[in-house]
Amino acid sequence: MISVENLTKQYGQFTAVDNVSFTAATGRVTGFLGPNGAGKSTTMRIMVGLTRPSTGQVTVTGRDYRELVNPGLEVGVLLDASAQHAGRTGREILAIAAQTMGLPKSRVTETLARVGLTADEAERRVRNYSLGMRQRLGIATALIGDPRVLILDEPANGLDPAGIRWMRDLLRGFADQGGTVLLSSHLLHEIEVIADDIVVIGQGRIVAQGSKAELLAAAGTLVRTADPAQQDHLDRALHEASVVTTPIDGGLRADADPELVGETAHRAGVVLRELRAADGAGLEEMFLELTAETAREGAAA
C-alpha cells in the first residue's frame, strides 16, 4: 500500500504540491491523473526519495522509501524510461540491477522474457532501442526484484497497441495477485480500462479521488435524440426541469439520473436513440471537466 499524507512541496514561492493526501490500496490499480504541470511527477519523485517534501510524508508498505534497505525488492519504479545508459545493452542494465539487489543472474533472462525482449534485443545497445523497447526495459528493471508495489510514470509511452495490451494484462495480473500499482498516464482510455481507483490532481491539489465506478457514475446521463433536430427541444425541456446539460459527442450529458431524463423526454414528446449512464462517455470527459480550471492552458488564461 502507498499512503500519501498532507504532502506539500514548495520551490521558493511556487507550490508544486499542495497538501495532497490519497492512498493506493493493495490489490488494486490506482490511476494518477492530471494536466501537465499538475504535480504528478513531483509527487512520484517524493514517493521514491528523489525529492524531499516541504511538509507531509509518503509511506510505501508502511515505511519511508529512504528507509528501505534493499528498495528494489519491495518497490519497482519507472519514472523515466529514457534515463538509461545508452552505451550498455539491455542485458547489462538488468544484470547490474540484479547484482545491486543481490539476485541470481538467472533472474535477468527470466525478466527479459517476462517483458517480451528477445535475446537479440537484449544484446543491443540501448541507444539503438526504440522508445517502446526502452519502456519494456524500464518495466523489466522495476519487476526484476519481484516487488509488491509498482510506481510507474507513463509506462505505455511509445508502446504499440499490442504492447499497450501486454502492459495492461501485466499490471492487472500484478494487482490481482496482491500487488499495489500506482500508474500515471496521459492515455486516459488505458487508465479507464485498467484502473480500479482514480486520483485526479490539478495545480498541485487533489480535485477528485475515489473508485473508478464512483467517479464515473457521478458523470450523469448521456442522451441522444432519434432526430437531431429535436435535441434543442430536449435541451429546453431538461432546463425547465432544472437539469443542467452539456453538449457531448452529438448528444447531451445531463446532470440527472437516466430515469428522470427519460421521463422528461417522454413528456416533451422527444424520441430517444440513446439513454444511458454517462460512465460510458468515458474518463476523458470527466477528466476534462474536473481539470478545466487547472489545465496548463486554462491556468495561463
Distances (CA, A) of 196 to 97, 142, 154, 168, 176: 30, 21, 17, 13, 11
Cα–Cα distance measured from residue 203 to residue 199, given in angstroms and rounded to the nearest whole number:
13
**DSSP element (H, E) containing 282:** none
Could you give the CA distance from residue 37 to residue 299 in angstroms, rounded to a whole number? 10
| CA pair distance 167, 159, nearest whole angstrom | 9
Q: What angle do CA 242, 243, 249 make, to 5 degrees?
A: 150
Kindly give the pairing relationship between strand 14-24 and strand 2-11.
antiparallel
Compare 218 and 235 and report the one with higher pLDDT.
235
pTM, to two decimals? 0.79
Residue 301 pLDDT more than 60? Answer: no
Q: Is the pLDDT of residue 281 over 60?
A: no
User: What percent of the chain is predicted at pLDDT more than 70?
Assistant: 91
pLDDT higher than threshold 50 for residue 217: yes
Report the SS3 class of residue 132. Answer: helix
CA pair distance 75, 65, nearest whole angstrom: 8
**Cα radius of gyration rounded to whole Å, the chain:** 23
Residue 292, pLDDT above cutoff 70:
no
DSSP 217: H
Cell of 244: 443542467
Confidence of residue 252 (pLDDT cuts 50, 70, 90): confident
Give the mean pLDDT of 33-48: 91
pLDDT of residue 192: 79
Query: Which pLDDT band, with edges at 50, 70 and 90, does 145 fall under?
Result: very high
Type of residue numbered 163: G
Identify each DSSP E strand in the chain by its residue range.
Answer: 2-11, 14-24, 29-33, 55-60, 75-78, 149-153, 180-184, 197-202, 205-211, 221-225, 245-248, 251-254, 272-277
State the Cα–Cα distance between residues 133 and 130, nearest whole angstrom. Answer: 5
DSSP for 153-193 reads ESTTTT--HHHHHHHHHHHHHHHHTT-EEEEE-S-HHHHHH
Contact in structure between 117 and 148 (CB atoms under 8 Å): no
Alpha carbon distance 79, 20 (integer Å): 19
Asked if the model's pLDDT at residue 4 lies above 50, the reply is yes
End-to-end CA distance of the chain: 38
How far is residue 270's CA from residue 234's CA, in Å, rounded to a whole number? 7
Query: Quick one: pLDDT band at residue 84, thresholds 50, 70, 90?
Result: confident
For residue 139, the model assigns a pLDDT of 95
> Per-residue pLDDT averaged across 242-248, rounded?
84
As given in the structure block, the three cell numbers for residue 210 are: 475515489
The average confidence (pLDDT) of the chain is 89
Q: Smallest Cα–Cα separation from 223: which of 197, 241, 207?
A: 241
